[in-house]
Structure 1
Amino acid sequence: MEVRPSWRGLAGIGTAVLICLPMQHTKDPLPPPSPPPTPDVRVEVKGEISLPPLLAGTFIATVKTWNTTAADERIGHERAAGLLLDAGVRRKSTGGCTDRRRPYCTSLEAIRYGTLMRTIDLRRDSGCPVTVTGGTETGHADGRYSHGNGYKVDLAHNRCLDAYITGVYRYWRTRADGAALYRAAPSDAGADIWADEPTHWDVLFR
Protein backbone atom coordinates (compact mmCIF):
# COMPACT_ATOMS: atom_id res chain seq x y z
CA MET A 1 0.00 0.00 0.00
CA GLU A 2 1.40 3.37 -0.96
CA VAL A 3 1.56 5.87 1.84
CA ARG A 4 1.30 9.50 0.86
CA PRO A 5 2.35 12.19 3.31
CA SER A 6 -0.34 14.49 4.50
CA TRP A 7 0.56 18.18 4.20
CA ARG A 8 -1.79 18.91 7.04
CA GLY A 9 0.10 16.49 9.26
CA LEU A 10 3.47 17.94 8.31
CA ALA A 11 2.23 21.42 9.05
CA GLY A 12 1.16 20.29 12.48
CA ILE A 13 4.56 18.76 13.17
CA GLY A 14 6.32 22.00 12.06
CA THR A 15 4.12 24.03 14.33
CA ALA A 16 4.94 21.76 17.25
CA VAL A 17 8.65 22.07 16.57
CA LEU A 18 8.45 25.84 16.49
CA ILE A 19 6.51 25.89 19.73
CA CYS A 20 9.06 23.65 21.43
CA LEU A 21 12.06 25.81 20.46
CA PRO A 22 13.27 27.96 23.36
CA MET A 23 12.51 31.63 23.04
CA GLN A 24 15.57 33.90 22.81
CA HIS A 25 15.03 37.24 24.46
CA THR A 26 17.16 40.16 23.39
CA LYS A 27 18.42 41.93 26.50
CA ASP A 28 19.53 45.53 26.59
CA PRO A 29 23.35 45.75 26.87
CA LEU A 30 24.65 46.66 30.29
CA PRO A 31 25.95 50.24 30.56
CA PRO A 32 29.75 50.57 30.77
CA PRO A 33 31.12 50.84 34.30
CA SER A 34 31.57 54.36 35.59
CA PRO A 35 35.19 55.56 35.76
CA PRO A 36 36.65 55.79 39.25
CA PRO A 37 36.37 59.26 40.80
CA THR A 38 39.34 61.52 40.25
CA PRO A 39 41.13 62.09 43.55
CA ASP A 40 41.42 65.68 44.77
CA VAL A 41 45.17 66.21 44.66
CA ARG A 42 46.54 69.36 46.22
CA VAL A 43 50.21 70.23 46.03
CA GLU A 44 51.83 72.62 48.47
CA VAL A 45 54.86 74.36 47.00
CA LYS A 46 57.68 75.45 49.24
CA GLY A 47 61.05 76.96 48.39
CA GLU A 48 62.17 78.17 44.99
CA ILE A 49 60.31 77.82 41.72
CA SER A 50 62.47 78.36 38.65
CA LEU A 51 60.62 79.40 35.52
CA PRO A 52 61.89 78.83 31.99
CA PRO A 53 63.19 82.04 30.39
CA LEU A 54 60.36 82.06 27.83
CA LEU A 55 57.73 82.09 30.58
CA ALA A 56 59.41 84.42 33.02
CA GLY A 57 58.12 87.96 32.85
CA THR A 58 54.92 87.11 30.94
CA PHE A 59 52.74 87.64 34.01
CA ILE A 60 52.70 89.61 37.24
CA ALA A 61 53.65 87.52 40.25
CA THR A 62 51.42 87.99 43.29
CA VAL A 63 52.82 85.20 45.48
CA LYS A 64 56.39 85.02 46.67
CA THR A 65 57.70 81.54 45.98
CA TRP A 66 60.94 81.78 47.92
CA ASN A 67 61.77 81.36 51.57
CA THR A 68 62.01 84.89 52.97
CA THR A 69 63.40 83.61 56.27
CA ALA A 70 66.58 82.68 54.38
CA ALA A 71 67.04 86.18 52.93
CA ASP A 72 70.34 86.81 54.72
CA GLU A 73 72.00 83.57 53.61
CA ARG A 74 74.92 83.95 51.20
CA ILE A 75 75.02 81.84 48.06
CA GLY A 76 77.72 81.10 45.50
CA HIS A 77 78.08 82.58 42.04
CA GLU A 78 77.11 79.44 40.12
CA ARG A 79 73.87 78.92 42.00
CA ALA A 80 72.98 82.61 41.79
CA ALA A 81 73.71 82.74 38.06
CA GLY A 82 71.55 79.66 37.48
CA LEU A 83 68.58 81.16 39.33
CA LEU A 84 68.85 84.37 37.31
CA LEU A 85 69.08 82.45 34.05
CA ASP A 86 65.99 80.37 34.87
CA ALA A 87 64.03 83.55 35.62
CA GLY A 88 65.09 85.30 32.41
CA VAL A 89 67.37 87.84 34.13
CA ARG A 90 70.48 88.64 32.09
CA ARG A 91 74.00 89.35 33.32
CA LYS A 92 76.52 91.66 31.70
CA SER A 93 80.17 92.28 32.54
CA THR A 94 82.43 94.98 31.14
CA GLY A 95 85.36 92.57 31.16
CA GLY A 96 83.35 89.46 30.32
CA CYS A 97 84.37 87.82 33.61
CA THR A 98 83.06 86.85 37.06
CA ASP A 99 86.14 87.28 39.27
CA ARG A 100 85.06 89.05 42.46
CA ARG A 101 88.54 90.55 42.92
CA ARG A 102 88.39 92.54 39.67
CA PRO A 103 86.23 95.68 39.43
CA TYR A 104 85.48 95.22 35.71
CA CYS A 105 83.90 91.79 36.32
CA THR A 106 80.34 91.06 37.44
CA SER A 107 80.36 88.60 40.32
CA LEU A 108 77.50 87.16 42.37
CA GLU A 109 79.75 85.33 44.81
CA ALA A 110 78.42 85.58 48.40
CA ILE A 111 75.41 87.66 47.35
CA ARG A 112 72.47 87.63 49.77
CA TYR A 113 69.78 85.15 48.79
CA GLY A 114 67.15 87.84 49.45
CA THR A 115 68.90 90.34 47.16
CA LEU A 116 68.99 87.83 44.34
CA MET A 117 65.37 86.74 44.74
CA ARG A 118 64.15 90.33 44.97
CA THR A 119 65.86 90.94 41.63
CA ILE A 120 63.94 87.99 40.20
CA ASP A 121 60.72 89.32 41.74
CA LEU A 122 61.37 92.62 39.96
CA ARG A 123 61.66 90.80 36.63
CA ARG A 124 58.36 89.00 37.15
CA ASP A 125 56.44 91.89 38.70
CA SER A 126 57.45 94.44 36.08
CA GLY A 127 57.51 92.23 32.99
CA CYS A 128 60.52 94.30 31.88
CA PRO A 129 63.94 93.13 30.71
CA VAL A 130 66.34 93.09 33.68
CA THR A 131 70.11 92.95 33.25
CA VAL A 132 72.50 92.75 36.21
CA THR A 133 75.67 94.74 35.52
CA GLY A 134 77.10 94.84 39.05
CA GLY A 135 77.14 92.49 42.01
CA THR A 136 79.59 91.73 44.79
CA GLU A 137 82.81 92.47 42.89
CA THR A 138 85.32 94.94 44.29
CA GLY A 139 85.29 98.59 43.23
CA HIS A 140 82.02 99.71 44.84
CA ALA A 141 81.60 101.93 47.91
CA ASP A 142 82.02 100.20 51.26
CA GLY A 143 79.47 100.08 54.06
CA ARG A 144 77.06 97.78 55.82
CA TYR A 145 74.46 97.84 53.03
CA SER A 146 76.95 97.65 50.18
CA HIS A 147 77.64 95.63 47.06
CA GLY A 148 80.48 93.81 48.79
CA ASN A 149 78.17 92.71 51.61
CA GLY A 150 75.64 91.33 49.14
CA TYR A 151 72.87 93.92 49.62
CA LYS A 152 73.10 95.79 46.30
CA VAL A 153 72.96 95.12 42.58
CA ASP A 154 73.38 97.36 39.55
CA LEU A 155 70.64 97.04 36.91
CA ALA A 156 71.00 98.41 33.38
CA HIS A 157 68.65 101.17 32.28
CA ASN A 158 65.93 100.46 29.74
CA ARG A 159 62.73 102.34 28.93
CA CYS A 160 60.41 99.72 30.42
CA LEU A 161 62.30 99.33 33.69
CA ASP A 162 62.79 103.09 34.13
CA ALA A 163 59.05 103.70 33.72
CA TYR A 164 58.19 100.89 36.14
CA ILE A 165 60.54 102.07 38.92
CA THR A 166 59.59 105.75 38.69
CA GLY A 167 55.90 104.81 38.50
CA VAL A 168 55.83 102.39 41.44
CA TYR A 169 58.34 104.10 43.75
CA ARG A 170 58.35 107.69 44.94
CA TYR A 171 61.10 110.25 44.62
CA TRP A 172 62.82 110.66 47.97
CA ARG A 173 65.83 112.95 47.60
CA THR A 174 69.01 113.54 45.59
CA ARG A 175 72.21 111.83 46.65
CA ALA A 176 75.51 113.74 47.02
CA ASP A 177 76.71 112.46 43.63
CA GLY A 178 73.57 113.79 41.93
CA ALA A 179 71.67 110.48 41.66
CA ALA A 180 67.92 110.76 42.28
CA LEU A 181 66.77 108.34 44.99
CA TYR A 182 63.43 106.51 44.97
CA ARG A 183 61.77 104.26 47.51
CA ALA A 184 58.30 102.96 48.33
CA ALA A 185 57.80 105.11 51.43
CA PRO A 186 60.09 108.14 51.81
CA SER A 187 59.48 108.15 55.58
CA ASP A 188 60.47 104.47 55.97
CA ALA A 189 64.15 104.28 56.90
CA GLY A 190 64.18 100.53 56.24
CA ALA A 191 62.77 100.69 52.71
CA ASP A 192 64.62 99.58 49.58
CA ILE A 193 66.43 102.38 47.75
CA TRP A 194 66.69 102.87 43.99
CA ALA A 195 69.46 105.28 42.89
CA ASP A 196 69.20 106.57 39.31
CA GLU A 197 72.82 106.68 38.14
CA PRO A 198 73.81 107.66 34.56
CA THR A 199 74.30 104.10 33.23
CA HIS A 200 72.31 101.95 35.66
CA TRP A 201 70.07 101.69 38.71
CA ASP A 202 72.05 101.20 41.92
CA VAL A 203 69.55 99.16 43.97
CA LEU A 204 69.64 98.40 47.68
CA PHE A 205 67.45 95.45 48.75
CA ARG A 206 67.24 95.26 52.54
Structure 2
Amino acid sequence: MTHSHLEVFLKRATRWSSVLLAVSTAGVVAVAGPADAAPAKYTHSQAKALLDKAGIRVSSSGNCSNVNNPRCTSLQGINRTTVSGLIRFKRISKCSNITVTGGTERGVHAKGPYGHEAGYKIDISRTPCVTGFVNKNFKRAGQRKDGTRLFRSMNKNVYADERSRNHWDILYYNGSA
Protein backbone atom coordinates (compact mmCIF):
# COMPACT_ATOMS: atom_id res chain seq x y z
CA MET A 1 0.00 0.00 0.00
CA THR A 2 1.48 3.36 -0.97
CA HIS A 3 1.76 6.23 1.48
CA SER A 4 -1.08 8.17 -0.22
CA HIS A 5 -3.35 5.10 -0.22
CA LEU A 6 -2.67 4.64 3.47
CA GLU A 7 -3.59 8.29 4.15
CA VAL A 8 -6.90 7.89 2.28
CA PHE A 9 -7.61 4.68 4.20
CA LEU A 10 -6.84 6.33 7.55
CA LYS A 11 -9.11 9.30 6.77
CA ARG A 12 -11.96 6.93 5.98
CA ALA A 13 -11.19 4.77 9.01
CA THR A 14 -11.57 7.71 11.41
CA ARG A 15 -15.30 7.55 10.76
CA TRP A 16 -15.44 4.19 12.54
CA SER A 17 -16.02 4.23 16.27
CA SER A 18 -12.88 2.20 16.97
CA VAL A 19 -10.21 1.08 14.57
CA LEU A 20 -7.15 -0.96 15.38
CA LEU A 21 -4.51 -0.60 12.74
CA ALA A 22 -1.16 -2.34 12.83
CA VAL A 23 1.38 -1.00 10.36
CA SER A 24 4.83 -2.31 9.65
CA THR A 25 7.41 -1.34 7.09
CA ALA A 26 5.81 -3.94 4.84
CA GLY A 27 2.40 -2.19 4.95
CA VAL A 28 -0.88 -2.85 6.67
CA VAL A 29 -0.76 -5.98 8.78
CA ALA A 30 -4.20 -6.09 10.43
CA VAL A 31 -7.33 -4.00 10.55
CA ALA A 32 -10.21 -4.47 12.95
CA GLY A 33 -13.35 -2.45 12.30
CA PRO A 34 -16.31 -1.46 14.44
CA ALA A 35 -17.76 -4.98 14.54
CA ASP A 36 -14.78 -6.03 16.63
CA ALA A 37 -14.88 -3.03 18.95
CA ALA A 38 -16.46 -2.99 22.38
CA PRO A 39 -19.52 -0.73 22.63
CA ALA A 40 -18.88 2.85 23.71
CA LYS A 41 -19.98 3.50 27.31
CA TYR A 42 -21.14 6.43 29.45
CA THR A 43 -20.47 7.21 33.06
CA HIS A 44 -23.57 7.54 35.25
CA SER A 45 -23.38 11.33 35.23
CA GLN A 46 -22.93 11.52 31.43
CA ALA A 47 -25.92 9.25 30.76
CA LYS A 48 -28.09 10.98 33.38
CA ALA A 49 -27.33 14.42 31.91
CA LEU A 50 -28.42 13.25 28.44
CA LEU A 51 -31.59 11.65 29.78
CA ASP A 52 -32.39 14.74 31.86
CA LYS A 53 -31.96 16.94 28.78
CA ALA A 54 -34.37 14.66 26.87
CA GLY A 55 -36.94 14.88 29.67
CA ILE A 56 -36.45 11.30 30.86
CA ARG A 57 -36.46 10.86 34.63
CA VAL A 58 -34.23 8.41 36.52
CA SER A 59 -35.73 6.96 39.70
CA SER A 60 -34.21 4.80 42.42
CA SER A 61 -35.95 3.07 45.33
CA GLY A 62 -32.81 3.72 47.38
CA ASN A 63 -32.39 7.29 46.12
CA CYS A 64 -28.86 6.43 44.92
CA SER A 65 -26.79 5.52 41.86
CA ASN A 66 -24.16 3.10 43.22
CA VAL A 67 -23.69 0.32 40.65
CA ASN A 68 -22.93 -2.17 43.47
CA ASN A 69 -26.12 -1.45 45.45
CA PRO A 70 -29.17 -3.36 44.12
CA ARG A 71 -31.52 -0.70 45.62
CA CYS A 72 -29.92 1.96 43.40
CA THR A 73 -30.53 2.79 39.76
CA SER A 74 -27.13 3.08 38.12
CA LEU A 75 -26.24 4.04 34.58
CA GLN A 76 -22.52 3.50 35.09
CA GLY A 77 -21.12 1.74 32.02
CA ILE A 78 -24.37 1.84 30.04
CA ASN A 79 -23.92 1.62 26.29
CA ARG A 80 -24.23 4.88 24.40
CA THR A 81 -26.59 3.12 22.00
CA THR A 82 -28.88 2.17 24.90
CA VAL A 83 -29.19 5.80 25.96
CA SER A 84 -29.70 7.05 22.40
CA GLY A 85 -32.24 4.29 21.76
CA LEU A 86 -34.32 5.32 24.78
CA ILE A 87 -34.15 8.98 23.79
CA ARG A 88 -35.31 8.09 20.27
CA PHE A 89 -38.10 5.95 21.73
CA LYS A 90 -39.33 8.94 23.75
CA ARG A 91 -39.31 11.13 20.64
CA ILE A 92 -41.19 8.72 18.37
CA SER A 93 -43.66 7.55 21.02
CA LYS A 94 -44.42 11.10 22.16
CA CYS A 95 -44.75 9.70 25.71
CA SER A 96 -44.02 12.61 28.02
CA ASN A 97 -43.60 10.61 31.23
CA ILE A 98 -40.76 8.12 30.80
CA THR A 99 -38.93 7.05 33.95
CA VAL A 100 -35.86 4.81 34.12
CA THR A 101 -36.16 2.36 37.03
CA GLY A 102 -33.30 -0.02 36.25
CA GLY A 103 -29.93 0.26 34.59
CA THR A 104 -26.55 -1.38 35.07
CA GLU A 105 -26.75 -2.11 38.81
CA ARG A 106 -25.26 -5.46 39.81
CA GLY A 107 -26.94 -8.29 41.66
CA VAL A 108 -30.51 -7.57 40.55
CA HIS A 109 -30.78 -8.55 36.91
CA ALA A 110 -30.19 -11.78 35.02
CA LYS A 111 -26.65 -12.01 33.72
CA GLY A 112 -25.67 -12.37 30.09
CA PRO A 113 -23.66 -10.79 27.32
CA TYR A 114 -26.63 -8.58 26.35
CA GLY A 115 -27.91 -7.89 29.85
CA HIS A 116 -28.21 -4.93 32.19
CA GLU A 117 -24.71 -5.18 33.65
CA ALA A 118 -23.24 -5.27 30.12
CA GLY A 119 -25.03 -2.00 29.34
CA TYR A 120 -27.49 -3.27 26.71
CA LYS A 121 -30.67 -3.18 28.81
CA ILE A 122 -32.66 -0.56 30.63
CA ASP A 123 -35.95 -0.71 32.56
CA ILE A 124 -38.63 1.97 32.30
CA SER A 125 -41.90 2.39 34.17
CA ARG A 126 -44.92 0.72 32.60
CA THR A 127 -47.31 3.53 31.65
CA PRO A 128 -50.42 3.53 29.43
CA CYS A 129 -48.59 5.65 26.82
CA VAL A 130 -45.53 3.36 26.61
CA THR A 131 -47.61 0.16 26.63
CA GLY A 132 -50.02 1.51 24.03
CA PHE A 133 -47.22 2.62 21.72
CA VAL A 134 -45.34 -0.69 21.93
CA ASN A 135 -48.50 -2.76 21.41
CA LYS A 136 -49.57 -0.69 18.42
CA ASN A 137 -46.24 -0.18 16.67
CA PHE A 138 -43.97 -3.12 17.44
CA LYS A 139 -44.29 -6.73 16.31
CA ARG A 140 -45.19 -9.43 18.82
CA ALA A 141 -42.15 -11.71 19.25
CA GLY A 142 -43.41 -14.49 21.50
CA GLN A 143 -42.77 -14.73 25.20
CA ARG A 144 -40.09 -15.66 27.69
CA LYS A 145 -40.27 -18.79 29.85
CA ASP A 146 -41.76 -16.70 32.67
CA GLY A 147 -44.66 -15.66 30.42
CA THR A 148 -43.41 -12.11 29.78
CA ARG A 149 -44.65 -10.90 26.40
CA LEU A 150 -41.94 -9.80 23.96
CA PHE A 151 -42.15 -7.20 21.20
CA ARG A 152 -39.55 -6.45 18.54
CA SER A 153 -39.14 -2.97 17.09
CA MET A 154 -38.48 -2.39 13.40
CA ASN A 155 -34.82 -1.94 14.41
CA LYS A 156 -34.70 -5.40 16.07
CA ASN A 157 -34.59 -4.11 19.67
CA VAL A 158 -36.62 -6.16 22.17
CA TYR A 159 -39.23 -4.73 24.55
CA ALA A 160 -40.32 -7.12 27.33
CA ASP A 161 -43.57 -6.28 29.13
CA GLU A 162 -42.73 -7.25 32.72
CA ARG A 163 -46.20 -6.64 34.12
CA SER A 164 -45.43 -8.29 37.45
CA ARG A 165 -42.63 -5.77 38.02
CA ASN A 166 -44.63 -2.90 36.49
CA HIS A 167 -41.91 -2.00 33.99
CA TRP A 168 -40.65 -2.53 30.48
CA ASP A 169 -37.31 -4.33 30.19
CA ILE A 170 -35.74 -3.04 26.96
CA LEU A 171 -32.81 -4.57 25.09
CA TYR A 172 -31.12 -2.13 22.72
CA TYR A 173 -28.89 -3.80 20.16
CA ASN A 174 -28.45 -0.45 18.42
CA GLY A 175 -29.16 3.24 18.99
CA SER A 176 -32.57 3.20 17.31
CA ALA A 177 -35.91 2.75 19.03
TM tier, smaller: 0.7 to 0.9
Residue in structure 2 matched with residue 155 of structure 1 by the alignment: 124
Q: Distance in 1 between matches of 2:87 and 2:156?
A: 18
Give the number of the structure whose alpha-carbon radius of gyration is greater. Answer: 1
How has the CA–CA distance of structure 1 residues 160 and 120 changed in structure 2, closer, same or farther, with 3 Å as cutoff? same
Q: Determine helix, strand or coil for the equivalent of 1:203.
A: strand
Q: 1:197 aligns with which of 145, 157, 162?
A: 162
Query: Which residue identity lines up with residue 131 of structure 1 in the other structure?
Result: T
Contact 1:75 1:110 in 2 (8 A): yes
Tell me which amino acid in the other structure corresponds to 1:112: N
Q: Secondary structure at the match of 2:134?
A: helix
2:65 aligned partner: 98
- 1:20-99 paired onto structure 2 within 5 Å: 72-99=39-66
More strand by share: 2
Q: Deviations over 1:120-171 (max 9, x none)?
A: 1111111102110000001110001000000000010111111001111011
Per-residue deviation, 1:72: 2.0
Matched, 1:184 2:153: yes
Same amino acid, percent of matched pairs: 39
Deviation at 1:174, TM superposition (A): 1.3
TM-score in terms of structure 2 length: 0.72
Return the offset for 1:71. Answer: 9.3
- Greater helix share, structure number: 2
1:184 Cα offset (Å): 2.9
Which of residues 109, 123, 134 in structure 2 aligns to 1:165? 134
Q: TM-score, normalised by structure 1?
A: 0.62
Runs of 4+ in structure 1 off by over 3 angstroms are none
Aligned match of 1:125 = 92
Number of corresponding residues:
134
How far apart in 1 are the matches of 2:146 and 2:118? 21
* CA distance in 2 between partners of 1:71 and 1:131 (Å): 27
RMSD: 1.8
What are the ranges of 5 or more consecutive residues in structure 1 without an aligned counterpart? 1-68
